[in-house]
Chains A and B, each alone.
Chain A
Amino acid sequence: MNAIVQKASRKGRLSALANPARFLALVRVTWPGLALATIVAFTIGLYLTFSVPDDYQQGRTVRIMFIHVPAVWMAMGAYMVMVSAALGVLVWRHPLADVAARAAAPIGAAFTFLGLATGSIWGRPMWGSWWEWDARLTSFLVLLIIYLGLIALWRAIEEPARSARMAAIVILVGALNIPIIKFSVDWFTTLHQSASVLRLDGPTMPPVFLTPLLVMGLAYLLFFLTLHLLAMRNEVIRRQIRTGQRKAAQAARTEQIARGKKQ
């Protein structure tokens, strides 16, 4: 694989689109492997999910957790990807950074929605209501609105460089919400249970439940990476098409003018 990447980079150096070309080659090599790994991880994870014993309090609904918790992790993970991409836009002006941020937003929004929906389905039998105005749920809803607002902002600004910069600024200001989500269960007295996996004194969950959760977490991570890479590839290709169209339009116009002069 290394050789291919190197070859691609050598080829990329010749091309004017150095980075996107090398990136496209990299995606072409990696995405089938990632997709396969995702399928394998989901197969194992879902099998484990359906083979865990019933929880003594939650009963069978504990299985929703294996869908819910990793979705929420990835919803925040996608935002962190966008934060680092925003830094890439503002600090290094990397041409792929805005592509990465833009591709992550709809995926992150989808994971956020999945997290809210599964949480709601779990909350109905457990808490007795579809929705509670609790700190974690509210801050997560805010995350969804931030995602959708960002997508709207990207679509509203026509000029690519400007939209990249403006979105990056909003991403960084909106990053304030992430620590609020993470620590909302510790800072406020809420209905949502407090952290049980990422704790300083180690996970408080029994291994029977922890193993399937981590496998599902891995599956979601691979799933996100696959989707993100493919979405980035699509965005790069979309931009290339747009540039090509513009060039073609310009060429047609010059030709037209030239022909007009001749007549």
Chain B
Amino acid sequence: MIALLKRDVALALSGGGGAVTALLFYLSVVIIVPFAIGPDPVMLAAIGPAILWIGALLAGLLGLERLFQPDREDGSLDQLRLSPVPLPALCLAKSIAHWLVTGLPAALFAPLFALILGLDTPVIAATVATLLVGTPAISFLGAVGAAVTVGLPRGGLLLAILVLPLAVPVVIFAVGAVRAVSMEPDPFWPPFALVTALTLFFAVIGPFAAAFALRGD
């Protein structure tokens, strides 16, 4: 399981992998929004956390299509299915690897991008915290979508349609938690705890559902 995780991370970081591309895509999303809505610092600061979250979400979706596809093409998916390690554990490893190369960089680079958008320090801290806790949910959920659509033509498009609606609660609570920091009266912890709960929930459901889908393939 650890070996698979290491292999996936190494593959993603190497030249052909998507980690750097996903990060660049993330940056492009963050850059395009001020062009679209105008460079008003007050408004950008208000919607900055939301932009960062949308960017992270889309960047995460971008890599999901390739989660099981290469393994299926070169036959290593069959090897994984035959391995003595239970398939859900392998799906968990692959989800974590996906998060390490998309969600984690998205959270780590968020402070830098937040500076461009003119966010305050406490808001940046809250955004990074919600990204760290919330993006794994996208990877776990996305593993289900990737397993279901593996081997389909235009699977990536279908995957986005299937995964995005289910990711809505994560985004709602994450952005809600950040907003609580920038606008005082609301408490930060309840929505933050809900984001954590959703991530843990999908961490349990995701690998099993993905493994179930892969087994039936």
User: Which residues of A are in contact with B by a Cβ distance under 8 Å?
Assistant: 90, 138-139, 142, 145-146, 148-150, 152-153, 156-157, 161-162, 165-166, 169-170, 172-174, 176-177, 180
Other than the given A145-B161, A169-B144, A173-B205, 19 more pairs (CB < 8 A) read A139-B168, A142-B165, A145-B164, A148-B161, A149-B162, A149-B165, A150-B162, A152-B161, A153-B162, A156-B152, A156-B154, A169-B147, A169-B212, A169-B213, A170-B145, A173-B144, A174-B166, A176-B166, A180-B169
A-B contact pairs, 8 of them (CB 8 A): A139-B168, A146-B166, A149-B165, A150-B162, A152-B161, A153-B148, A156-B152, A176-B166
User: How far, in whole Å, are A169 and B217 apart by their CA atoms in the complex?
Assistant: 12
- B59 CB to closest chain A CB, in angstroms? 21
Taking a contact as CB atoms under 8 Å apart, the answer to whether A146 and B144 are in contact is: no
User: How far, in whole Å, are A146 and B141 apart by their CA atoms in the complex?
Assistant: 14
With A152-B158, A166-B216 known as contacts, the answer to whether A173 contacts B209 (CB < 8 A) is: yes
Which residues of chain B are within 8 angstroms of A169 by Cβ–Cβ distance? 144, 147-148, 209, 212-213
Number of interface residues of B (CB under 8 A): 25
User: How far, in whole Å, are A52 and B168 apart by their CA atoms in the complex?
Assistant: 39
Choose among B141, B148, B161, B212 the residue with the greatest number of A CB atoms under 10 Å from its CB. Answer: B148
Which residues of chain B are within 8 angstroms of A172 by Cβ–Cβ distance? 209
Which residues of chain A are within 8 angstroms of B148 by Cβ–Cβ distance? 153, 166, 169-170
Which residues of chain A are within 8 angstroms of B158 by Cβ–Cβ distance? 149, 152-153, 156
Taking a contact as CB atoms under 8 Å apart, the answer to whether B168 and A142 are in contact is: yes
Q: Which residues of chain B in 99-158 are interfacial with respect to chain A, using CB atoms and an 8 Å cutoff?
A: 141, 144-145, 147-149, 152-155, 158
Nearest neighbor of A157 in chain B, beta-carbon distance: B152
User: How far, in whole Å, are A172 and B216 apart by their CA atoms in the complex?
Assistant: 16
Which residues of chain B are within 8 angstroms of A170 by Cβ–Cβ distance? 144-145, 148, 162
Which residues of chain A are within 8 angstroms of B149 by Cβ–Cβ distance? 153, 156, 166
Which residues of chain B are within 8 angstroms of A166 by Cβ–Cβ distance? 148-149, 213, 216
Partner of A177, one of B145, B155, B161, B166: B166
Choose among A90, A148, A153, A162 the residue with the greatest number of B CB atoms under 10 Å from its CB. Answer: A153
Which residues of chain B are within 8 angstroms of A157 by Cβ–Cβ distance? 152
User: How far, in whole Å, are A122 and B216 apart by their CA atoms in the complex?
Assistant: 45
User: How far, in whole Å, are A222 and B194 apart by their CA atoms in the complex?
Assistant: 39
Taking a contact as CB atoms under 8 Å apart, the answer to whether A165 and B213 are in contact is: yes
